[in-house]
Structure 1
Amino acid sequence: MPHLRIASVNVNGIRAAARNGMASWLDTADVDILTLQEVRGQDEHLEAALPGWTFVHDEATAKGRAGVAIASRIPALAARTDFGDPGFDSKGRWIEADFLIGDRPLTVVSAYVHSGEADTPKQDEKWKFLDAFGVRLAELGEGDRPLALVTGDLNVGHRELDIKNWRGNRKKAGFLPRERAYFDRFLGAVGETVEGVDGTIGEGLGWVDVGRTFHGEVEGPYTWWSMRGQAFDNDSGWRIDYHLATPALAERVTAYHVARADAYDQRWSDHAPVVVDYTY
């Protein structure tokens, strides 16, 4: 069956990624839809980095910060950036685009969740975003077996398997119990009562973590490594980049891999692309 290859990556600045080797990777990756986070640029920078691609892009309010985009080999049918309470600044952190997969509509999201910082206003912004995230997941999952996919740097390691040094990060943003509990609900069986790792009770939304489902109960595979020290060489990473799919789309997954660079000096971002094939 034909497949649609969708890749997501936090580029850590589109201009730097382009200078450091992203194009060489794309030349052989055979990607149909590419979701980007931390673009940190303008349309002209995406055009220069991705010649021949069409894209939709939402810049952050502050220049040089955040920014999300969806690039594709076929034009999107529609795109949206509305997200959460109108008083909440989500610019540069959420963009949706509609495509056709076979004869059915497919919605693809590129999301960049705040990194946060425990017990600070930065974390308060992250809580607001995760609240809105849950509302939108519920909406995207409504209807008769919809095909929808949320990709991106979600800045939460859901389980202990998702962080190499999880014991040392239990009180740090990215692995706080309250953050992880959101994902317990996102990925819990639809409509069922879910007890989060923090003890809170909520309702499951029924989404599927494609990476964990495909790889099973193994450490990682990680998607982000600090640029400092020996984190990359020791594979001391975090799995914080996701493909979250509706069940009907998750059934179509035929391959999943993290395109980890062969060596530290071959990296063009501190994140690695997450690449998934879906049949249509």
Structure 2
Amino acid sequence: MARTIRIASVNVNGVRAAYRKGMGDWLDGRGVDVLALQEVRAARSDLEPLLGDEWHLVNDEANAKGRAGVAIASRLRLGETRTALGPDDFDSSGRWIEQDLDVDGTPFTLVSVYTNSGEAETPKQEEKWRFLDAMTERLAELRAASERVLLVGDFNVGHTTLDIKNWKGNVKRAGFLPRERAYFDRFFGERGAQVDCADGTTGEGQGWVDVGRMLSGPVEGPYTWWSQRGKAFDNDTGWRIDYHMASPALAAVASGYTVDRASAYDTRWSDHAPVVVDYAL
């Protein structure tokens, strides 16, 4: 018999602030088995008392205090944890954590990802390119090592025009640059096939599945992030930049994709909404 596991991912925009605003109430009532966090901006000693001792916790903090940070909290048995990404001289701390998990003898690997936000034509964007290059290489290694791999988190790229409400005004901005989107064309392209990419290049598809798009269909959004400025949230002028990226074996058993959008602007505890999916393992 398959056992259904609920996996949630959210950029908390500072976990201590999120808990002050009501994150704990959301988590207590959501039936989550595994929780992936991004932009934690806190130490393990801060996380543990917030989550409580019923969770097994792993985390990776950024080198710069109060910045970035990723974590995975699980009710499942933990296996090996890995945080290395890219060459030795590349600082990926606080942005990538892999956790091997086991569901009644069925192993899988979960990765919590916080991609650099970048800024077009600046050194920040160069760091983002390096992250996406390192991610591309690691994705191939993960697929070679296991049939069941799931990457979740804030990828800071809207893949297609369905993923950003005001896409026409953002084609020259980080998060929707054609070169950024080309990485995702390759990630989600048929494995081994030559893929036409948004920047006019061709590349080899890796065969990952965008679970949110697979289960939602060709609709606008559903968006996962809204600017804090203006009426972006009230008008649902958002971006879908938080993903569940699954190997085909996990995508095939995914269901119940939900973006837990707050009921009103003043009830939000992050500028991102949690993305929740059930997997029958």
TM-score range, shorter chain: over 0.9
Choose 134-143 or 256-265, whichever is displaced more. 134-143
Task: Give the structure 2 partner of residue 212 of structure 1.
Answer: 213
Once residues 47 and 168 of structure 2 are traced to their aligned partners in structure 1, the CA distance between those partners, rounded to angstroms, is 39
TM-score by length of 1: 0.98
Question: Does structure 1 residue 113 correspond to structure 2 residue 106?
Answer: no
Q: 2:110, 2:149 within 8 Å by CA — same for their partners in 1?
A: yes
3-state SS, counterpart of residue 77 of structure 1: strand
Q: 2:211, 2:246 within 8 Å by CA — same for their partners in 1?
A: yes
Q: How many residues align?
A: 279
Once residues 105 and 77 of structure 2 are traced to their aligned partners in structure 1, the CA distance between those partners, rounded to angstroms, is 16
Once residues 103 and 85 of structure 1 are traced to their aligned partners in structure 2, the CA distance between those partners, rounded to angstroms, is 33
Q: Give the superposition deviation at 1:165.
A: 0.2
Once residues 163 and 112 of structure 2 are traced to their aligned partners in structure 1, the CA distance between those partners, rounded to angstroms, is 20
Question: Does structure 1 residue 161 correspond to structure 2 residue 162?
Answer: yes
Once residues 33 and 153 of structure 1 are traced to their aligned partners in structure 2, the CA distance between those partners, rounded to angstroms, is 16
Once residues 105 and 2 of structure 1 are traced to their aligned partners in structure 2, the CA distance between those partners, rounded to angstroms, is 13
Once residues 106 and 87 of structure 2 are traced to their aligned partners in structure 1, the CA distance between those partners, rounded to angstroms, is 30
Q: 2:170, 2:176 within 8 Å by CA — same for their partners in 1?
A: yes
Q: 1:40, 1:67 within 8 Å by CA — same for their partners in 2?
A: yes
Instruction: Summarize deviations over 1:187-222 as a string: whole Å, max 9, x none.
Output: 000000112110112110000000000001000000
RMSD of aligned Cα (Å): 0.9
Once residues 65 and 216 of structure 1 are traced to their aligned partners in structure 2, the CA distance between those partners, rounded to angstroms, is 35
Displaced runs of 4+ in structure 1, greater than 3 A?
none
3-state SS, counterpart of residue 64 of structure 1: coil
Q: Give the superposition deviation at 1:104.
A: 2.2
Residues 43-54 of structure 1: matches in 2 within 5 Å?
A: 43-52=44-53, 53-54=55-56
Instruction: Summarize deviations over 1:229-255 as a string: whole Å, max 9, x none.
Output: 110010000000000000000001121
3-state SS, counterpart of residue 109 of structure 2: strand
Once residues 181 and 39 of structure 1 are traced to their aligned partners in structure 2, the CA distance between those partners, rounded to angstroms, is 28
Residues 8-157 of structure 1: matches in 2 within 5 Å?
A: 8-52=9-53, 53-142=55-144, 146-157=147-158
Once residues 153 and 104 of structure 2 are traced to their aligned partners in structure 1, the CA distance between those partners, rounded to angstroms, is 24
Q: Give the superposition deviation at 1:103.
A: 2.3
Q: Residue 268 of structure 1 aligns to which amino acid in structure 2?
A: W
Q: Give the superposition deviation at 1:150.
A: 0.4
Once residues 102 and 194 of structure 1 are traced to their aligned partners in structure 2, the CA distance between those partners, rounded to angstroms, is 37
Once residues 6 and 100 of structure 2 are traced to their aligned partners in structure 1, the CA distance between those partners, rounded to angstroms, is 15
Once residues 108 and 219 of structure 1 are traced to their aligned partners in structure 2, the CA distance between those partners, rounded to angstroms, is 27
3-state SS, counterpart of residue 105 of structure 1: strand
Q: Give the superposition deviation at 1:228.
A: 1.2
Q: 1:225, 1:236 within 8 Å by CA — same for their partners in 2?
A: yes
3-state SS, counterpart of residue 141 of structure 1: helix
Choose 99-108 or 183-192, whichever is displaced more. 99-108
Gaps of 5+ in 1: none
Q: 1:55, 1:75 within 8 Å by CA — same for their partners in 2?
A: no
